[in-house]
Amino acid sequence: HHHQQMALPGPSSSTSVEVAKRRNHSDTSSQSQYSVELPSPDCCVEANESIISLLLKLHSHLSGTPDSFSPDDPESETDRTSRIGDGPFFVGKVLRRIMEIDSFCRESVVETRERLWPRQPEEGETERREREERERAERRRKAKERQQKLMEEFASKQKQFMEKAMETDDDGMDW
């Protein structure tokens, strides 16, 4: 049983919500009160972002590569019907759905992408591939370093455990 009281926004800048919860159903006297400050409804944040630009940025963030979404890559029938995939896969599906609505929507995605990541005219296909390969190699190197560090940590803990086990053994424990 939960009791809720909500105060209507008054002259203060935020709305106060009071919630009284019963900890124990049989004990009605023990009530605790929580007061939560909510932002007022007339407060807003200027984002200067569209859903399309947010989706494109999210795709890049999740894939770890700038300008990772390629609107020209065809979506295979398997990808179209698949319910299995990672973050970039599903964000890409949403962007492709938007592009399928009409030519204006497709153009919006392409233009927003070009505005977010302007094409360097001097960067050709080869340079782009080399840059992407460098970025991939850097990510692989960092992952390898993390793995190496974890392996060293594990080996150290294993060694400590063995030393402790040997000490316990030396203390005259008869098995």
What is the DSSP track for 84-130? ---HHHHHHHHHHHHHHH-HHHHHHHHHHHHHHSPPPTT--HHHHHH
Query: Based on the domain organization, do 28 and 57 belong to the same domain?
Result: no
- Considering its fold, how many domains does the chain have in total? 2
Q: Are residues 68 and 27 in the same domain?
A: no
Last residue of a domain, one of 122, 146, 164: 122
pLDDT, tens only, 58-107 = 999 998 888 888 888 777 777 778 778 888 899 999 999 999 999 999 99
Q: Span 127-155, mean pLDDT? A: 91
Would residue 158 count as lying in a domain? no
Whether residues 21 and 57 share a domain: the answer is: no
Residues 60 and 116 grouped into a single domain = yes
Q: What gap in Å lies between CA 68 and CA 59, rounded to an integer?
A: 7
With tokens 């030393």, the residue in question is 163
Which domain, by its residues, includes 113? 51-122
Residues 27 and 80 in one domain: no
Residues 33 and 90 in one domain: no
Residues 27 and 55 in one domain: no
- Write the CA distances from 55 to 16, 64, 92, 95, 112, integer angstroms: 33, 14, 8, 7, 10
27 domain residue, yes or no:
yes
Q: What is the pLDDT of residues 7-58, one digit of tens each?
A: 444 444 444 444 444 444 444 444 556 677 766 767 777 777 888 999 999 9
Q: Are 36 and 17 in contact (CB under 8 A)?
A: yes
Q: Is residue 78 part of a domain?
A: yes
Within this chain, do residues 59 and 116 fall inside the same structural domain, yes or no? yes
77 in the same domain as 25: no
What pLDDT shows up at residue 79? 74
Domain identity same for 32 and 72: no
Residue 175 lies in a domain: no
**Is 88 domain-assigned?**
yes
- Do residue 67 and residue 29 come from a single domain? no
User: Are 6 and 60 within one domain?
Assistant: no
13 SS3 class: coil
Map tokens 């497709």 to a residue: 106
